[in-house]
Structure 1
Amino acid sequence: MTVPQTPYNLIVITGPTASGKTRLAAHLAHRINGEIISADSRQIYKKMDLGTGKDYDDYIINGEKIPYHLIDIREPGYKYNVYEYQTDFFKVFEEIKKRKKFPVMCGGTGLYIQAVLDQYKMVHVPPNPQLRQRLQDKSLEELTRILRGFKKLHNTTDTDTKKRAIRSIEIETYYQNHPEIEVKLPRVSPLIVGVEIDRDMRRHKITKRLKERLNEGMIDEVKQLIDEGISPEDLLYYGLEYKYVTLYVIGKTTYEDMFERLNIAIHQFAKRQMTWFRGMERKGHKIHWIDATNNIDENVSLIYNMIYNSPQ
């Protein structure tokens, strides 16, 4: 069987939360003999399943399990970062190509996606105990002001917690004091596909999915993580579901307040994702938007035609 020619060596399936991108990516991977590389900053953690939306069943197509990577690769409590993601991504990317399979990147963490597409030249930033000690007693507001002195804040998660803010200052200080190390990265020729979903439908799906995950045991998942020794502060670090459910579990809020605040936070997160993608487009990345309400086979065929420029 002759393999069609294509100018692309990476397919990126992205979009806001609850747009159905994982299922679409799995169906596409099944069609093009591909393997999926996750671009989700929280699905890398083991035992954090419901809160991060790991829908393992989405990877089974016609009884066949589609291989996926960079999911369940770190223990909960670990502070994974963009540098590690970029390193892990390109390692898996090269391995998939050696197997003569097609890499399909799937996820909604825009920073991870851009770190790959723009080939950020990054260096490993070691801990700076002296700097951390000097910053430890400062308030979150003071830390945010210091960080603003280094850069324009594009990602509000930099200052979600004192730990995040101090780490961000640590990284920026290192970059300021050290010349960048040249890093040679594999060439990527991506086709970027965005799954577009109507705002009202997205809001409906987010709320429905949140209710389902709470009913499926998301609160018990958080309790189990705490029972296993993960501190509430570490869980708060992961934001969204883990932040608000942890606040409920440790008695800082009511169930009703937790649900309402979390629901709003996820809607706001989806809006920020779309803002990030629009920013990527302004920076020159062509995103081919497809309708989430289309039949999945129709969307797979649309993407297949984009890849191979074929009427098939």
Structure 2
Amino acid sequence: MQITKPLQVILGPTASGKTHLAVQVAAELDGEIISADSRQVYREMDIGTGKDLGEYQLAGKPVPYHLIDIADAGTQYNVNDYQHDFEKVYEGIASRNRVPILCGGSGFYIYALLKGHAYSAIPVNESLRAKLQELSNEQLLARFKTYSTDYQELADTSTRKRLIRAIEISEYLSADPAAGNQFAKPDLAQQSIIFGLNPAVEIRRERISTRLNQRLENGLVEEVEQLLKKLTPDQLIYYGLEYKYITLYLTGELDFATMKSKLETEIHRFAKRQMTFFRKMEKDGLAIHWLNDDWNERQKIEYIAQQYLGFEAQRSKS
């Protein structure tokens, strides 16, 4: 992939307001948004993934978005698929001389794009996955910690699905530590500028709780009911968080109050793990411009626009 237009990245934990801000910035800079959300790629998984497509317009004018609703629910779309799809979308945006804005909270997807690391394309091991599915999350995490590879510090283990994939990659690299190098992709980090949103923990927690209540009131349980007409409970549980706990409720394993309480707790933990991964990205050399949470929206937009345009001008000279 030839990089002809610098990539702007807007990342942050769940409920930090990433999409809303990215839409405003896209309108300011004549940009298009590339989603970096590992679950919004799936069709019919709308409320549970926070796929509010109405956000992608401003003053009645649509803001183009990509990599949302591109795979059927029930399939296992992975980071290697995402890298290939990103390349096609990026090239289209660059050919239109518009600003590509990568926006999302799936840190491992973002990291894989920016660092072009070798691990994402390591092949699936179906027999290993079948064995791992029989283990609890605690057993999976304990197994993951037994490995010692260069990948361990980078792995995203924030959901059961990702933890299983992390073990799969670790197993592969343990057998052949150098094997992953054949999958390496170009380093996009040097052509990217990253901005981060990180609201205060108490604000983030309040937003998560409010949003969960709104989603439950607006049909989240019914969405999962409809999906269960097409998919097995295990297929939905695979996607974690809302789809896991509401499936457990609908199959009678949890009552509503317990389901809601456990789900809310897990979303809070997920947001914390997202921030941990973003900090790992920084330790690995990816500079993140964290936006001042005290700034108003206009100040954030202007800061991002100025920094991006300055970065673009600098890259064009070099």
Same fold, judged at TM 0.5 (above) = yes
Give the structure 2 partner of residue 3 of structure 1.
none
What are structure 2's unaligned runs of at least 5 residues? 312-318
C-alpha change, 1:87 and 1:114, in structure 2 (3 Å) is: same
| 1:273 CA displacement | 1.1
The residue type equivalent to 1:81 in the other structure is N
The equivalences for 1:275-294 within 5 A come to: 275-292=276-293, 294=295
The code of the aligned residue for 2:82 comes to Y
CA distance in 2, matches of 1:222, 1:146: 31
| In 2: Cα distance, 1:23 partner to 1:63 partner | 14
CA contact (8 A) 1:35 1:96 kept: yes
SS, match of residue 103 in structure 1:
strand
Counterpart in the other structure of 1:38: 35
> What is the CA distance between 1:187 and its match in structure 2?
4.2
CA contact (8 A) 1:17 1:108 kept: yes
1:40-97 per-position Cα deviation (integer Å, ceiling 9, x unaligned): 1100000000000011121111111111111111001111111111121122111211
Structure-1 residue corresponding to 2:219: 217
Deviates more, 1:7-16 or 1:197-206: 7-16
The equivalent of 2:274 in structure 1 is 273
Aligned equivalents of 1:267, 1:258: Cα separation in 2 = 14
Partners of 1:261 and 1:267 in 2: CA distance: 10
**Cα deviations across residues 219-265 of structure 1 (Å, max 9, x unaligned)?**
000000001x2111111111111111111111111111111111111
Look up the match of 2:205. 203
* TM score, norm. by length of structure 1: 0.86
Give the structure 2 partner of residue 115 of structure 1: 112
Task: Indicate yes or no: 2:18 matched with 1:15.
Answer: no
Q: Which amino acid aligns with 1:249?
A: L
Aligned residues of 2:40 and 2:69 also touching (Cα < 8 A): yes
Secondary structure of 1:238's aligned partner:
coil
Change (3 A) 1:191 1:235: same
C-alpha RMSD of matched pairs (Å): 2.6
Give the whole-Å Cα distance in 2 for the aligned partners of 1:225 and 1:233.
12
Q: Per-residue CA shift, 1:92-137, capped at 9, x if unaligned? A: 111211111110000001101100111113574444456567x379
**What amino acid sits opposite 1:254 in the alignment?**
D
> Which residue of 99, 104, 116 corresponds with 1:102?
99
SS in 1 for 2:145: helix
Query: Does the residue aligned with 2:285 lie in a helix, a strand or coil?
Result: coil
- 1:243 aligns to what? 244
Equivalent pairs counted in the alignment come to 299
Q: C-alpha separation between the residues in 2 aligned to 1:193 and 1:70?
A: 20
Q: Structure 1 stretches of 5 or more lacking a match? A: 1-6
Q: 1:59 is matched with which residue: 56, 60, 71?
A: 56
Q: 1:247 to 1:68 in 2, by over 3 A?
A: same
Residues 1:86 and 2:86 are matched in the alignment: no
Judged with a 3 Å threshold, the aligned counterparts in structure 2 of structure 1 residues 279 and 174 are, in CA distance, closer, same or farther, namely closer
Which stretch of structure 1 is more off in the superposition, 285-294 or 27-36?
Answer: 285-294
Q: Which moved more, 1:183-192 or 1:284-293?
A: 183-192
| Bigger mean CA deviation after superposition, 52-61 or 211-220 | 52-61
Distance 1:304 1:242, change over 3 A: same
Matches within 5 A, 1:90-169: 90-122=87-119, 124-128=121-125, 135=131, 139-140=135-136, 144-151=141-148, 152=152, 154-157=155-158, 160=160, 168-169=166-167
Aligned to 1:306: 307
Q: What is the TM-score with the length of structure 2 in the denominator?
A: 0.85
Secondary structure in 2 matching 1:196: coil
Aligned to 1:258: 259
Aligned partners of 2:114 and 2:188 also within 8 Å: no
Compared with structure 1, are the counterparts of its residues 126 and 57 closer, same or farther at alpha carbon in structure 2 (3 Å cutoff)? same
Listed one character per residue, the Cα deviations across residues 127-170 of structure 1 (whole Å, up to 9, x for unaligned) are: 4456567x379644665555434343743346x26xx6665444
Query: Is the alpha carbon distance of 1:104 and 1:169 closer, same or farther for their aligned partners in structure 2, counting shifts above 3 Å?
Result: same
Contact 1:193 1:289 in 2 (8 A): yes
How far apart, in 2, do the equivalents of 1:19 and 1:136 lie?
33
Range with greater deviation from structure 2 (137-146 or 96-105):
137-146
Separation of aligned partners in 2, 1:25 and 1:137 = 37
Structure 1 residues 125 and 207: alpha-carbon distance in aligned structure 2, compared to 1, 3 A threshold: same
CA distance in structure 2 between the aligned counterparts of 1:203 and 1:108, rounded to whole angstroms: 16
